[in-house]
Copies of this chain bind each other. A is one copy, B any other.
Amino acid sequence: MNDTAKRMLGKAGPFFGLILVIALFAIPGESREAFLSYHNFKIILTQTVIVAIGALGMTMIIVSGGIDLSVGSSIAFTSVVGALLVKHGWSTAPTCLATILTGGVIGLLNGTAIARLRMTPFIITLGTLGVARGSAKWLGDNQTVNYDSSPINGWMTTPDPFSYALPAGVWVAIVLAVITSLVLNNTVFGRHIFSIGSNEQTARLCGVPTQRLKIAIYALAGCFFGLAGLFQLSRLRQGDPTVAIGLELDIIASVIIGGASLNGGVGTILGSMIGALIMAVLRNGSQQMGWPTYFQEIIIGLVIIVAVFLDRLRQGKQA
């Protein structure tokens, strides 16, 4: 293969799996029209927002060599907090800020425990998973938290469902993805994240303040999770303490499908976003195909493996 072609493929590369998945649902006849419509892609994008924003934070964490299992619970907790604030009459801006910061505080606690007590992220965040979920139910008094109405409710839809405009949430996710990607690649903070993921020992010896950095990473990622909680609130229009159970696997899977390594040091935002889209397209497409639920599960499992396999093949990376 000549060099330019290779480079072209390299650039288009991350989209490979995604194109494959879309093609899978675009070929057969019956549901094709509905699936390939602009309106359906709008739906898919909207359904991806929460996982995508979660994946932004998770990418930072995984690149740094960590993991956060508490993301689903954090989203539930922050969405309950947001709903309670709206219910108590807070106006929109302070509610948003407080909700995002709530996520940040959970992350801060995770990060502090991980960095200061030097415990494995898996255990700490598994603990937080339980604590945050329990606290969400407690705050919500074991029920969904309902409020009259709030501008937040409109962020995940467009007034006219058939207009070509995209909901605010989609734009927020896109803008944040671009910013996060720039930060990861072009700032000292970003490169230090890669360095502690690649070799924490080295980073420490070279004067990277690893402990503070870890705390910052988890706290910042927590803010992303808080934001995801806010969009979850906007989507359900109520705070639901039982929402997003098991979402951690979806989010982590998106990041890994996007090419990151659980050993740290490798990963891109573009990849993670595509990973999130692959998951969403798979769900959406297989539901529209009218396949039985069990068949959907099987297909989704297989396609995840195949998509990642083809992507690895393309990269010629055999590790």
Contact = CB atoms under 8 A, between A and B. Distances in A.
A131 B257 contact: no
Contacts of A293: 134, 137, 142
Nearest to A241: B294
Copy number of this protein in the oligomer?
Answer: 2
| Number of chain A interface residues as a range | 35 or more
A308 interface: yes
A240 to B, nearest CB: 14
A124 interface: yes
B69 A122 contact: no
Interface in A85-130: 113, 117-120, 122-124, 126-130
Interface stretch (A27-35, A145-153, A205-213, A297-305): A297-305
B142 A319 contact: no
A249 interface: yes
A197 to B, nearest CB: 13
A6 interface: no
Interface in A289-319: 292-302, 304-305, 308-309, 312, 318-319
B120 A262 contact: yes
A142 B292 CA distance: 10
A301 B134 contact: yes
A142 B118 CA distance: 45
Nearest to A132: B301
A261 interface: yes
B120 A256 contact: yes
Contact of A294 (B124, B137, B312, B318): B137
30 contacts: A117-B309, A118-B312, A120-B256, A120-B261, A120-B262, A120-B308, A122-B253, A122-B262, A123-B253, A123-B256, A123-B305, A126-B256, A127-B302, A127-B304, A130-B297, A130-B301, A131-B302, A133-B294, A133-B297, A134-B294, A134-B299, A135-B294, A136-B294, A137-B294, A138-B292, A138-B294, A138-B295, A241-B294, A245-B246, A262-B262
